[in-house]
Chain A
Amino acid sequence: MKTYILPSIKITIILLVILSGLYPLAIAGIGKLTPGHGDGETVQYKGRVVGYANEGQKFTKDEYFWSRPSAANYQADAGAGSNKGPTNADYLNKDVKGRIDTFLKHNPGVTKDQIPAELVTASGSGLDPDLSPVGAKIQATRIAKARGISEQQVLALVDAHTEGPLLGLFGPAKVNVLKLNVALDELKK
């Protein structure tokens, strides 16, 4: 058995040095050259870091675009989905229905069938940073009223922040909620 045990231990040691030591260090070195310097890209408002571009935040005030519901309450050190199944009656009739009612209450004039499902279902990570353009625009009237600006201004802001499909070809269009809300705050009133 010595034929195998000793080489096994030695090869483990040297592979640990190469794979677990050198490889991530090399990637960390390259990461320094990236936009976020490997620490994660941040978003600033008035010179203060208000969040990470890739991670969603909770927005509950009427004057902000709301993010999607989160099973993790947007805790960025414990992201998770709801893991509720598609036929879970309890979840659908309490949680999802409750979200629909809340949305309708805060957005008078919007009818149920106009609400896209993403606004009442929890995301996979609990930290979804995005909305679809539809999911953002449906909130425009509420935001315009709360901020005393025109609805056109809000809609234009959504259009300006919409990222189309990759190369115009692949995947869905999306809007980053945090960047959009920072842009709202930056609007002159």
Chain B
Amino acid sequence: MNTEYIGIIFMYLATIALAIPLGKYIAKVFKGEKTWLDFMAPLERLIFKFSGIDPNREMNWKQHLKALLTVNFIWLIYTFFCLLFQGRLPLNPDHNPSQTPDLAFNTALSFVTNTNLQDYSGESGATYYTQLYVLMFLHFVSAATGIAAMMVVFKAMKDKVTDKLGNFWDYLVKSITRLFLPLSFVVAVILAFNGTPTSFKGKDTIIGLQGDTIHVSRGPAAAMIAIKQTGTNGGGWFGANSAHPFENPNYLTNMVENSSIFLISVALVFALGFYLNKKKLAWVIFGVMTAGFLIMVFPSVIAEVNGNPGIAHLGVSQPGGSMEGKEVRFGPAASAMWGVTTTVTSNGSVNAMHDSMMPVSGMAQMFDMMINSFYGGVGVGYLNFYIFIIIAVFISGLMVGRTPEFMGRKIEAREMKIASLIALLHPFIILVGTSIASYVLVHYPNADWATKPSAWLNNPGSHGFSEMLYQYASSAANNGSGYAGLTANNIFWNVSTGLVIFVGRFFPIIGPVAIAGILANKKFIPESAGTLKTDTVTFGVMVFAVIIIVAALSFFPALTLGPIAEHFSLK
């Protein structure tokens, strides 16, 4: 058991150790300084030339958002129609069918928004064409969209009184060529050498040792899995995601993949420090995020390692902890660690089935997604955190009687209105979604639909409620993991989570970018004795308190009905 603990501790510390230099590198890239990947410059020039884009044209925040929303809209249309007709498109060696309109709607929204909720299984629900030319393509560009939006906020914080916040296309392309593509390449090669398939051959049929006929799904999975992790996407090649032995063949790949899940998210926090030359602020943010992260990890690891009292009750021993839904090669500690890292970062890939995990773990995972900013998704995690900073600055300003200022700009009514709306939107869409689903389930269990509501849930009681709550939390947080027992491939769930995903992605991007843009236009007030210092431990504690209060007050009642009730029913 000890090697399991050492495994996750080492993986975590190694990731942090890598994140600091990576953050420095990212800051250099976006400051336009020299880096060792400058050999990518010709490729970037080719992309800009082909697209007729001048990457040096400065944009204001509104132009940024126009570009971002336009290109995302184009991807959405392209994706929807590809999925709808995938059965007739090339690269379909397994002859998989096209997606239904509601499934294509959900999948398209889900992947464009970096969510990757999958109401289908990759083996039968997608083709090699859609896996590579649609879904993996979106892995890259949706992650890059997050970084581009974040860079607007970084830039707005950096310069004194400005309208010029860099070029959207420049941010988008550079985060791909300088960050996601090289890193994914390395991860994909590691996966390939450990047994993840890379070739384009379709299913293989063999006779097993005992004489059974076995159809083995394969495909060029390594390339996709690498960017699925580094881009905090989470949508895997196979249905079982990173629990599948082809996606995640051994403990080494598990460490590499788990590290990739949060490496860039952590690096971006340090990138902020290097970019603004405010390293202390970066450490305060990192400290708050890490505190939140660790508070979730410890109980989850302990619960999984200790095993399920329900299984113990049956008289068998649990030397390997709770093993339902888990793989022997990872064990309970690494599965719990993954469960928390994948939910804090909006990644959503899984190496064990969350639906079968202990209630304490389920609660940690849901709470991670409800807060959605402890490290957070690439780019967007920081945007969510930025909202909490604005609120904390305002509240603490009122408490100590100082003008609320952040980075030399006054926070006023307009910014606070936007920040509060964004902070409240998240609980609103999760809880309203869950309430509607619960209402339908209770009042119309036998409604005459293709999937009757009474057949939605895979588990009775409070765990069944958790399946619905988890699904909306995952959608709103653009996470994409699921309590996979939920029968989600039907019109009700495809459409309702699709809408939640959409709202949960674009408003939390528009809000912070707008706030940052407005603030950047305001008069710069140099720091004085009257300024509330934001790079102190005290302020860190304040932000932490704001996050916990907003999240706890909004979600505690729902969590009580789900994982908390289930925990106390364990016997």
Partner of B43, one of A1, A18, A56, A61: A18
Minimum Cβ distance to chain B for residue A106 (Å): 15
Answer yes or no: B444 CB below 8 A from chain A CBs: no
Are A52 and B216 in contact (CB-based, < 8 A)?
yes
A86-137 at interface with B (beta carbon < 8 Å): 86-90, 92, 96-97, 100, 112-132, 134-135
Partner of B239, one of A6, A78, A132: A78
In the complex, residue of chain B having the shortest beta-carbon distance to the beta carbon of A130? B328
What are the residues of chain B within 8 A of A122 when measuring CB–CB? 324-325
Partner of B192, one of A10, A27, A42, A81: A27
What are the residues of chain B within 8 A of A27 when measuring CB–CB? 185, 188-189, 192, 198, 220, 222-223
Are B330 and A171 in contact (CB-based, < 8 A)?
yes
Are A171 and B50 in contact (CB-based, < 8 A)?
no
Minimum Cβ distance to chain A for residue B520 (Å): 21
B183-219 at interface with A (beta carbon < 8 Å): 184-185, 188-189, 192-193, 195, 197-201, 203-204, 206-210, 212, 214-218
Answer yes or no: A82 CB below 8 A from chain B CBs: yes
What are the residues of chain B within 8 A of A36 when measuring CB–CB? 195, 197
Answer yes or no: B132 CB below 8 A from chain A CBs: yes
Are A14 and B328 in contact (CB-based, < 8 A)?
no
Please classify how large the interface on chain A is, using the bins under 10, 10 to 19, 20 to 34, 35 or more: 35 or more
Are A100 and B324 in contact (CB-based, < 8 A)?
no
Q: Which of B3, B46, B193 has the most CB of A within 10 A?
A: B3
What are the residues of chain B within 8 A of A1 when measuring CB–CB? 66, 70
Partner of B331, one of A4, A127, A172: A172
- Contact code string A2-34 (vs B, CB < 8 Å = 1, else 0): 011111111111111011110110111011101
In the complex, residue of chain B having the shortest beta-carbon distance to the beta carbon of A114? B317
B32-75 at interface with A (beta carbon < 8 Å): 43, 46-47, 50-53, 66-67, 70-71, 74-75
Minimum Cβ distance to chain B for residue A176 (Å): 9
Are B192 and A34 in contact (CB-based, < 8 A)?
yes
What are the residues of chain B within 8 A of A116 when measuring CB–CB? 316-320, 323
Given known A-B contacts A51-B206, A68-B328, A83-B356, A10 and B132 have beta carbons under 8 A apart: no
CA distance A57 to B190 in the complex (A): 25
Are B251 and A132 in contact (CB-based, < 8 A)?
no
Answer yes or no: B249 CB below 8 A from chain A CBs: yes
Minimum Cβ distance to chain B for residue A47 (Å): 13
CA distance A58 to B209 in the complex (A): 9
Are B318 and A76 in contact (CB-based, < 8 A)?
no
Given known A-B contacts A82-B324, A117-B323, A128-B328, A28 and B215 have beta carbons under 8 A apart: no
What are the residues of chain A within 8 A of B249 when measuring CB–CB? 54
Are B210 and A58 in contact (CB-based, < 8 A)?
yes
Partner of A14, one of B47, B216, B350: B47
Partner of A132, one of B311, B328, B350: B328
Given known A-B contacts A19-B176, A84-B458, A85-B459, A28 and B136 have beta carbons under 8 A apart: no
Given known A-B contacts A39-B218, A127-B245, A130-B328, A169 and B136 have beta carbons under 8 A apart: no
Partner of A23, one of B181, B218, B569: B181
Answer yes or no: B494 CB below 8 A from chain A CBs: no
Answer yes or no: B570 CB below 8 A from chain A CBs: yes
What are the residues of chain A within 8 A of B66 when measuring CB–CB? 1, 3-4
Minimum Cβ distance to chain B for residue A104 (Å): 10
Minimum Cβ distance to chain A for residue B380 (Å): 20
Minimum Cβ distance to chain A for residue B211 (Å): 10
In the complex, residue of chain A having the shortest beta-carbon distance to the beta carbon of B335? A124
Are A24 and B206 in contact (CB-based, < 8 A)?
no
Are A64 and B210 in contact (CB-based, < 8 A)?
yes
CA distance A46 to B357 in the complex (A): 41
Partner of B7, one of A28, A56, A131, A166: A166
24 contacts between A and B (CB under 8 A): A4-B66, A5-B74, A11-B173, A27-B192, A53-B195, A57-B214, A76-B217, A77-B123, A81-B240, A81-B243, A84-B458, A85-B355, A86-B358, A92-B314, A117-B311, A118-B323, A124-B240, A124-B353, A125-B238, A127-B240, A165-B3, A168-B3, A169-B7, A181-B209
State the A residues within 8 Å of B (CB): 1, 3-16, 18-21, 23-24, 26-28, 30-32, 34-42, 45, 48-61, 64, 68, 74-90, 92, 96-97, 100, 112-132, 134-135, 165-166, 168-174, 178, 181-182, 185
9 closest residue pairs by CB, A with B: A31-B198, A83-B485, A124-B243, A171-B251, A170-B7, A81-B353, A85-B463, A38-B198, A83-B355
| New contact pairs (4) apart from A27-B192, A54-B195, CB-CB < 8 Å | A50-B208, A75-B215, A124-B351, A169-B6
